[in-house]
Structure 1
């Protein structure tokens, strides 16, 4: 019976794809891959290219990066219907997503919109912050420590509370929120205990082991993540 698979690509390095994910991709008939801008090259697709069979049909679909919920929903519904039709026709279909499918991924919405009769399976991938912690060899949490993952899009108060209540905090989507994030970390005296990595594990990775010289007006890549380590010295 044909099936739909959601596969996490990991953060960027093709070698960080799971064996299961890579093996499944070799067997797929159709692959859906997201693009943030129309006609742009999909980063997720570039990661999985070494594992694709030559006969694979690739369908690159536009997922709008907008705050307009209705626009996004229309796009997701259209793609979900197309996927459902492909699976129902007897084809094994995969959708690839950066990092892990269950961590801040549009895939979660797409999964909910598929027709109920479609069999599905989700294959995990390495989230960017997991890769980052391994790269710098600093554990996210040990013993009874607590850690949180917070999108920098939330309010300053929520970020403050997250840092106060946890030992390690991952701040995602920081690129456009430095004017909000930096004063909080500066006030907490945590600038030198925060790492910043853009394009984790990719060839163009940029790594900063301290953000003490980072300014509110600095420009960062969309693929930038901070880890605030309250209990680590480095």
Structure 2
């Protein structure tokens, strides 16, 4: 029986793809890859290219990065229908997504449209914040500590509550909410306890430990993550 696979590519480096992810990509007949901008390059596809067979059918599909939910849903419906049709026609199909498929991924919206119609399997990937913590060798949590993962675009009061009460706070999508985040971290005196990493594990990776010199007007890569380590002593590199 043919199947649909969602594969997490990991944070950016090709060699951080899991063995299971590599096996699936080398087995499938057709690969769908997200294209955030029309005619734009897919980072996820660049990551997995070393593992793809030469005759693999690749379909790049545009996922609108807009606030219009109707436009998004229409795109998800159309792409899901195409994938379902491919699987029912006898193809094993994969969809690749950055990081882990179950962490802030468009894949989730596709999956919920398919589970009752075709067989599915999700292959985990390494999330950016796990890669960052391991690269810096700073534990996310130990003993009775807690951690939270939030989008930097969340309501300011929700972010404030998390930053006040959680041991380690991971902030995703910080590039599009930097002024708000810098303001909050300054207010709570947490700039010095925060790590900022852009393009984790990629050749363009940038690491900033302690953000006292960060300007809220700085331009960051879209793939930028902050980790606020309230219970750690951070040392610069």
Cα separation, 1, equivalents of 2:115 and 2:34? 20
Task: Name the residue aligned to 2:100.
Answer: 100
Cα separation, 1, equivalents of 2:176 and 2:17? 28
Task: Name the residue aligned to 2:63.
Answer: 63
The reply to whether residue 47 of structure 1 matches residue 47 of structure 2 is yes
Provide the TM-score with structure 2 as the length reference. Answer: 0.97
Cα separation, 1, equivalents of 2:19 and 2:211? 35
Task: Name the residue aligned to 2:174.
Answer: 174
Task: Name the residue aligned to 1:136.
Answer: 136
Cα separation, 1, equivalents of 2:115 and 2:127? 28
Question: 3-state DSSP class of the match of 1:196?
Answer: strand
Question: 3-state DSSP class of the match of 1:171?
Answer: strand
Task: Name the residue aligned to 1:29.
Answer: 29
Q: CA deviation at 1:159?
A: 0.6
CA contact (8 A) 1:81 1:115 kept: no
Q: CA deviation at 1:116?
A: 2.1
Question: 3-state DSSP class of the match of 2:61?
Answer: strand
1:144-183 correspondence to structure 2 within 5 Å? 144-183=144-183
The change in CA–CA distance for 1:122 and 1:115 in structure 2 (over 3 A counts) is closer
Q: CA deviation at 1:117?
A: 2.5
Q: CA deviation at 1:184?
A: 1.1
Q: CA deviation at 1:165?
A: 1.5
Deviations 1:82-123 (A, max 9, x none): 000000011100000000000000000001112622000000
Count of equivalent residues: 234
Q: CA deviation at 1:158?
A: 0.7
Segments of 5+ residues of structure 1 without an aligned counterpart are none
Provide the TM-score with structure 1 as the length reference. Answer: 0.98
Over aligned residues, Cα RMSD in angstroms? 0.8
1:64-103 correspondence to structure 2 within 5 Å? 64-103=64-103
- Structure 1 runs of 4+ off > 3 angstroms? none
Cα separation, 2, equivalents of 1:233 and 1:158? 25
Cα separation, 1, equivalents of 2:8 and 2:176? 25
Q: CA deviation at 1:36?
A: 0.5
